[in-house]
Amino acid sequence: AQSVTQLGSHVSVSEGALVLLRCNYSSSVPPYLFWYVQYPNQGLQLLLKYTTGATLVKGINGFEAEFKKSETSFHLTKPSAHMSDAAEYFCAVSGNTGRRALTFGSGTRLQVQP
Amino acid sequence: DGGITQSPKYLFRKEGQNVTLSCEQNLNHDAMYWYRQDPGQGLRLIYYSQIVNDFQKGDIAEGYSVSREKKESFPLTVTSAQKNPTAFYLCASSIGARDGTEAFFGQGTRLTVV
């Protein structure tokens, strides 16, 4: 079975500060990893994904994530937070298990202080 | 514009009633999914379908039913057997033919039992 653990249900940063949202995965097969963002009462929007190849993945809105197999991690970062980044962020995993549905973490709510 | 449409946005149900949530996509995707979202628990998979006339139970299928008679449509029925149906329900779709493909989400339906 595959699973994702997001450390920290709430993260607060100041505007302009570094954003770091943590995600660790468990998978018996090479994983495919995703980060999604959700604004209140809306659906999820894909930020970025890792499938194969380059381990540093760049996404939309200045976010990026690095796949580290040795640490089973896929942390999301952004060098400088903006007020509009305040939202909930979900890490997800899928793999070659025959079940292509994504398995999600419990989410991290990001607050950005002025 | 292509996308996923969920309706209604808000739904109220009396205890003991069945209700059906609509999900339609015009992305020509083969795979469709239903997730349930509760605060602090992330998204949990209810049912998924990888092709028309076929679907599989996810992690929390008890008290729910689905059908997939058309490629574009994947309605979810919340039955009276679901003991705690109040939640935010998200429908998603993906190309489905390959592992590692991302899911696209609708805007969700918030169901409240009154």
Burial class (CB in 10 A: 0-12, 13-18, 19+), A99: middle
Are B111 and B15 in contact by the 8 Å Cβ rule? The answer is no
Which of chain A's residues have a Cβ under 8 Å away from the Cβ of B40? 9, 106-107
B75 close to A (CB below 8 A): no
Q: How far is B55 from chain A (nearest CA, A)?
A: 11
pLDDT of A8 above 70: yes
pLDDT tens digits, one per residue of A10-21: 999 999 999 999
Burial class (CB in 10 A: 0-12, 13-18, 19+), A38: buried
pLDDT given at position B18:
94
Q: Tens of pLDDT along A32-67?
A: 999 999 998 899 999 999 988 889 999 999 999 999
Is residue B105 within 8 A of residue B4, CB to CB? The reply is yes
CB B36 within 8 A of CB B46: yes
Report the percent of chain B where pLDDT is more than 90: 81
Distant-in-sequence, close-in-space partners of A43: CB < 8 Å, separation ≥ 6 = B4, B90, B105, B106, B107, B108
- Residues of A at the B interface (Cβ-Cβ below 8 Å)? 6, 9, 32, 34, 36, 41-46, 49, 51-52, 90, 94-96, 99-107
Q: If you average pLDDT over residues B4-15, what whole number do you get?
A: 94
Q: What is the pLDDT of residues A84-107, one digit of tens each?
A: 999 999 999 987 666 778 999 999
User: Do residue A100 and residue B4 have CB atoms under 8 angstroms apart?
Assistant: no
Query: Which has the minimum average pLDDT: B21-30, B41-50, B85-94, B95-104?
Result: B95-104
Q: For all residues of chain B together, what is the average pLDDT? A: 93
Q: To probe the interface with B, which of A100, A106, A108, A109 has the most B CB atoms within 10 Å?
A: A100
B91: helix, strand or coil: strand
Total count of residues recorded for chain A: 114
Min Cα distance B41 → chain A (Å) is 5
B5 near B27, Cβ under 8 Å? no
> Predicted confidence band at B1 (pLDDT cuts at 50, 70, 90)?
low
Q: In a 3-state reduction of DSSP, which class is residue A85?
A: helix
Residue B40 pLDDT exceeds 90? no
| Secondary structure letter of residue A84 according to DSSP | G
**Is the preceding omega at residue B8 within 30 degrees of 0, hence cis?**
yes
